[in-house]
Amino acid sequence: MDQTSHSRIFVERTLAIIKPDVVHKAEEIQDLILRSGFTVLQKRRLLLSPEQCSDFYADQYGKLFFPSLTAFMSSGPIVALMLARDNAIAHWKSIIGPASIAKAREMQPDCLRAKYGTSELKNALHGSESFHAAVKEIKFMFPNSVIEPFPSKEATEEYLSRYVNPVLLRGLTELCKEKPPKPCIWLADWLIKNNPNQPQICDGFIVEDEG
């Protein structure tokens, strides 16, 4: 499946970090995030050690700014957010703008880094660069999270229309015919018995539907 069709089926996730220099503006920034169409799946406020910052920015190791970067990122609390929406990685990158404050102010004066950043080092926000980076960074900040495909609204509606609604309609039709004294319990039992996705038992073995 190519990346274009993948993005239509699944909602992307990306990692956003509100850095120590603007953590006092966290609620204001989160409000902007929500108004930009993102869903905040998880959020943590934490204080990283210099060693943890070194691990997180390991791909920057050896660059001249690396010591300053790890010192700054461990200088105070940060807020890490797992964000989701269509095309989340590219959209979040476009909202925060270039990593360089000078470029951000010149090229995208309305971006978040131009608004909140104060220097090349203190550029306010972090965003994952790619799908691979997002998976890695989300795992780092939210180690207990399960990174699985997150169905889009369209995919969810299609699944409900194709697999759930027909069965539910049959159950409600039978419910109207039966008129049981406890309709919710009756319907729950009927749905369990008529679940089209349940495995079939054959000679003591579970036969999985390969369709």
Tokens in use for 179? 């008129």
Give dist(CA 21, CA 97) in Å, integer: 17
Query: Please, are residues 183 and 172 in contact by the beta-carbon 8 Å criterion?
Result: no
- For residue 6, the model assigns a pLDDT of 43
- CA 55 from chain centre, in angstroms, equals 22
Contacts of 49 (CB under 8 A, 6+ apart): 74
Quickly tell me which residue has 């959020």 as its tokens: 43
Helix (H, G, I), strand (E, B) or coil at 133: helix
Q: What is the mean pLDDT of the chain?
A: 85
Cβ contacts of 173 within 8 Å, gap of 6 or more: none
pLDDT digits (tens, 9 = 90+) for 20-66: 999 999 999 999 999 999 999 999 999 999 999 999 999 888 888 89
Report residue 165 as tokens. 């609604």
pLDDT bin (cut points 50, 70, 90) of residue 150 is low
65 Cβ partners below 8 Å, 6+ apart?
Answer: 120, 121
What is the set of active-site residues? Answer: 126
Domains annotated for the chain, with CATH where assigned, are 3-151 (3.30.70.141), 154-198 (1.20.890.10)
pLDDT band at 71 (very low <50, low <70, confident <90, very high): very high
